[in-house]
Amino acid sequence: MDLATKFRNQLLYDPESGQFLWRQPGRGRRPNLVAGSVKKKNGNYWRKIVIDGQEYTCAQVAWTIMTGQFPQYIIDHEDGDSLNDAWDNLRRGDNCVAQRNLAKSKRNKTGVTGVKSSHGSYVAYIGVGKMQKYLGCSTDFFEAVCMRKRAEKEYEYSPRHGS
């Protein structure tokens, strides 16, 4: 039995809400009981489901149920909420895509991701692939922010990146 069939036999998935319900009774399971639990690691939260002793993220399970194929890549949550497993919130991604959808770091001092203060001026930069690209330097904060925002559009960063 393939994984998609196994998931479909044991779970009901609502693509609109992203919620999973058990179909069959089992250890600690009752039909129509919400499936899975929330896991936290390094300040990040996500939902997981254990099936036949194997742990899967709810995003992986949703992707497999909807496409018939277990993802061999990262499943990114477009809105940045890793607990929102609604189908229209999930997309195929990689580390590069996921990095373009990150919230602002708590270490950020200027208030704008990709703009730092250095010796009385502001330096704008952006991550491209595995490299950090220098965008320019200005004594005007607003100008440095504009450099960064133009680059975010050019490199297709998520609108919520850094917010």
> pLDDT per residue over 120-162, tens digit each?
899 998 888 778 899 999 999 999 989 988 988 888 776 665 5
How many CA atoms, within 13 angstroms, populate the side-chain half-sphere of residue 138? 14
Distance CA 128, CA 74 (A): 18
Catalogue all structural domains in the chain, each as residue range(s) with its CATH number. Answer: 3-93 (3.90.75.20), 103-154 (3.30.730)
pLDDT tens track for 11-21: 999 999 999 99
pTM: 0.64
Structure tokens of 129? 């692939």
pLDDT of residue 105: 63
Q: How many CB atoms lie within 10 A of CB 4?
A: 17
Distance CA 132, CA 57 (A): 31
